[in-house]
Structure 1
Amino acid sequence: MSHNLVSDGYSKWRVWKISILILILLTAYNVFLTIKLMTTTTDCPESQENILDSIKFRQPECGEDQQPDQDPFEPDEPRIGSEHQDQLVEKYQLNLNLKLGRSDNRIAYTLFDHVIVGDKFVQLSDTFRTCLATQSSLDKIVSLVESSLHWAGPISLAVFAGSEKELNHILLFILYLRKCNSRIKDKVSFHIAILKGNGPKRFSIDEERLGRLSCMNPMANMHQLMMEINNNRMMGPWRHKLPYPQNLLRNLARKNCHTKYIFLTDVDVIPVKGMAEGLNEFLAEDKCRGKCAYVVPTYEVDERVLFPENKTELIRMASKGLARPFHHKVFIYNQYATNFSRWQNFKDPDRTIRVSHPVTNFEFLYEPFYIATDDVPPHDERFVGYGYTRNTQVYEMFVSGYEFQVLSPIFSCHWGLQVKKNRPPWREHQNNQNRKLFDQFKKEIFAKYNKDPLHMMVSKNNKN
């Protein structure tokens, strides 16, 4: 009996001792785990709850570099890596970082100066007195091929890209033109404007396609790119849904010229051969005593003929109905004040550029292509799309005291005899919108100069 009691007591004591030992071990293990968790910061748990699962935020995998400044609310989508863009920038000498452009005056667009610079652009700017400043979208940029053949001086071209795809195609086509045309590669400095906020966030260049594009047919290549942008339509929907910022681009192009004088044109207005050289001589002896703008007569020419080599040939074409003053049938007031009859009848003693006559019948809506110093008033960038873009700027020049003088025997040409029925209806809509803006514009011009030489401030009732 006593033996059983001793045995029971020993068993209880052993269980109690083992329990104490287990408790000590558990306590020590808990202390160890606590210390480890407090001192370890680099190991990732095998799984963890994600409080942002509902917005599809991807947590970094264990061992993956953290991205503390990544926006967790940004959708996870394929991206063109910055490293790839850096490679393109270096390879093609692109001055393009879409995060570093400057804003326009209305903070509606982002502008990039000298994105691709002609190899001899700086040298030509030092040699010639006049820079050809022009603007374009992708559908007309091919006109540079002919302009660069005729114009020996520097060319400043501003281009608008309405979407990321359009930007990529524009860069591709510019590089293609530089690859295939040494004159463009040497002379042209390209600038780009995109929408601010909703514009492209990245860019890429299809280098494989660039290598395949044939230099034999730039027009066909341009048309193919336009078709891709606009879903198999040559004229893109952005022309009416996203009006083309002509005046913004004109200011961008002229401000990136580095010569004293600017010849401001549209990209499809082609100068006659030898104009830049002739202007060097004429402007060296510029005898203007006040504010002068030198008008270059502009004609539209039938596409079935060759570009006229000189004034005599142009006049012969005009006599046969193969050439006529620019916009003569579409909107006669566009160039009417130039007085083309007087210019054609002026007898040039030689090929030296001289003033044939002054513009004496200036009227509103006149919008000549002219050469002037870059202190002329800027183009008002509120006028977007078509209508009241160039003529408002020329009107301000006139009010501020500029004289317009017509030069001979130089001229410029636009391909195609234009007729009004070929114009899409959305252009008239844009024209009507800009007409409404003009009511405010003319009041501002009157307040600025305190002049109203064309009686723009007189009401229709008072006129009657």
Structure 2
Amino acid sequence: MAVDSTGFTATFWYEKRDHPKLWTWYLASHTSLNNMWHLQDLVERWEGKISLALFASSSAQAKVAAALMFTIAQLCPSVRQRVFFHLVCQSGDQAVFPELEDQAQFAQLRTCQAVFAKAASMGSHIVNYAGNASYPNNLLRNVAKVGIGSTTFILVVDIDMVPSERLRSKFLELAAQGVDTHTVFVVPAFEIRHTRRLPGTKEELLRLYQVGEVRAFYEELCSRCQAPTNYSAWLNLPERSDRMAVAYVVEWRDPWEPFYVGNKDVPSYDERFKQYGFNRISQACELNIAGYTFAVLDSAFLVHKGHKLPGDFHSQKDAENKRNRQLYRGFKEELKLKYPDSSRRC
């Protein structure tokens, strides 16, 4: 159990069953109770281990979260074998093995599908980013990374994003040829309408992109936040064999916040950033100043479920963004002192 300066307690629950050399790349993610049901798609698509940090904003939520994790592990063999859960609570809240009364609402469930349907139903009554506790997204990302243990590469994604098919195995083939530890491998991110089946291959993605069902991630909300990925170049790459490769290298530009496969030693996320705004941008900014190279993979991608629309956000989003913008300005000044010999700036 570890308590950090943000006032949250991280409790790590997992069991390692495999020799670490057999599992050299993990996916890390984070969620609150209302989005827990997205784990089902993630487990179905990702072929390796997953480290998931689950946030409970109150003592009551912690009890429900513990019972839900226990039930999912009981009814879903793929989750039990491949997902490491990390329950994150506010300092002072107690996370304990679920009592019988806490498990009562799940007692009648008999299948994996049923428990995820229950999770989705529960989530519809929980408002994300609301309440007395700020959602500590960067703390959760760090907890998921630390909870992985011995590994070489990590891909950190939001819980409602799904990777392309065989992303893990194809990247391992690429990495086997030798990669620079000071390079992060950018995975272009897209968003799709809720009504569509999630594409697994680039060919499927391109077909949906051409008819407007898929578009660049954050295209309507903040196109600059993903622009350096250079979607036009990526979409028009010549067809390749089944092998994955680096398509091109790009320079970081503010406010780019790429998703990427990185070495386990990349800088941690700054845990002062909570709620909405600058949480991933700040970490990408540090990667740039620390001298990392940004290499875009040619066939890997992520798909966010649903188009991001301005009206979909909570009422305090703008105020949170403004507060985190101020924090980001100070953060950049701190980086000048942390990396005095770097010629790069954000």
2:241 is equivalent to residue 355 of structure 1? no
Which segments of 5 or more consecutive residues in structure 2 lack a partner in the other structure? none
Call closer, same or farther: CA 1:422–1:373 in 2, change over 3 Å.
same
CA distance in 1, matches of 2:24, 2:303: 22
Contact 1:124-1:154 at 8 Å conserved across structures: no
Please report how far the alpha carbon of residue 214 of structure 1 lies from its aligned counterpart in structure 2 after TM superposition. 5.2
Contact 2:137-2:279 at 8 Å conserved across structures: yes
Contact 1:125-1:131 at 8 Å conserved across structures: no
Tell me the equivalent position of 2:3.
103
* Deviations 1:104-127, CA, capped at 9 Å, x for gaps: 2x16111112x143xxx5427432
1:296 pairs, out of 183, 187, 200, with 187
Contact 2:43-2:79 at 8 Å conserved across structures: yes
Which AA in structure 1 matches 2:135? Answer: Y
Please report how far the alpha carbon of residue 164 of structure 1 lies from its aligned counterpart in structure 2 after TM superposition. 1.3
Tell me the equivalent position of 2:41.
146
Q: Which structure's CA Rg is the greater one?
A: 1
CA distance in 2, matches of 1:433, 1:203: 37
2:11 is equivalent to residue 112 of structure 1? yes
1:265 pairs, out of 136, 147, 157, with 157
Tell me the equivalent position of 1:367.
257
Partner SS for 1:143: helix
Q: How does 1:280-291 map to 2 (within 5 A)?
A: 280-288=172-180, 291=182
Which one has a larger percent strand, Structure 1 or Structure 2? Answer: 2
CA distance in 2, matches of 1:125, 1:276: 16
2:166 is equivalent to residue 274 of structure 1? yes
2:290 pairs, out of 386, 400, 403, with 400
2:209 is equivalent to residue 321 of structure 1? no
Which segments of 5 or more consecutive residues in structure 1 lack a partner in the other structure? 1-100, 228-232, 457-464
CA distance in 1, matches of 2:83, 2:48: 9
2:99 is equivalent to residue 207 of structure 1? no
Tell me the equivalent position of 2:71.
176
Normalising by structure 2, we get a TM-score of 0.92
* Deviations 1:82-104, CA, capped at 9 Å, x for gaps: xxxxxxxxxxxxxxxxxxx2212
Partner SS for 1:356: strand
Contact 1:298-1:411 at 8 Å conserved across structures: yes
Contact 1:348-1:409 at 8 Å conserved across structures: no
Please report how far the alpha carbon of residue 213 of structure 1 lies from its aligned counterpart in structure 2 after TM superposition. 2.6
Please report how far the alpha carbon of residue 400 of structure 1 lies from its aligned counterpart in structure 2 after TM superposition. 0.9
Instruction: Report which stretch shifted further, 174-183 or 332-341.
Output: 174-183
Tell me the equivalent position of 1:418.
308
Contact 1:295-1:407 at 8 Å conserved across structures: yes
Please report how far the alpha carbon of residue 367 of structure 1 lies from its aligned counterpart in structure 2 after TM superposition. 0.8
Contact 1:240-1:427 at 8 Å conserved across structures: no
Task: Tell me the matched-pair count.
Answer: 341
Please report how far the alpha carbon of residue 220 of structure 1 lies from its aligned counterpart in structure 2 after TM superposition. 4.1
Tell me the equivalent position of 1:52.
none
Contact 1:348-1:408 at 8 Å conserved across structures: no
Which AA in structure 2 matches 1:181? Answer: C
CA distance in 1, matches of 2:316, 2:118: 26
CA distance in 1, matches of 2:198, 2:120: 22
Call closer, same or farther: CA 1:126–1:152 in 2, change over 3 Å.
farther
Which AA in structure 2 matches 1:173? Answer: L
Tell me the equivalent position of 1:255.
146
Which one has a larger percent helix, Structure 1 or Structure 2? Answer: 1
Partner SS for 2:107: helix
2:21 is equivalent to residue 126 of structure 1? yes
Identical counterparts, % of pairs: 27
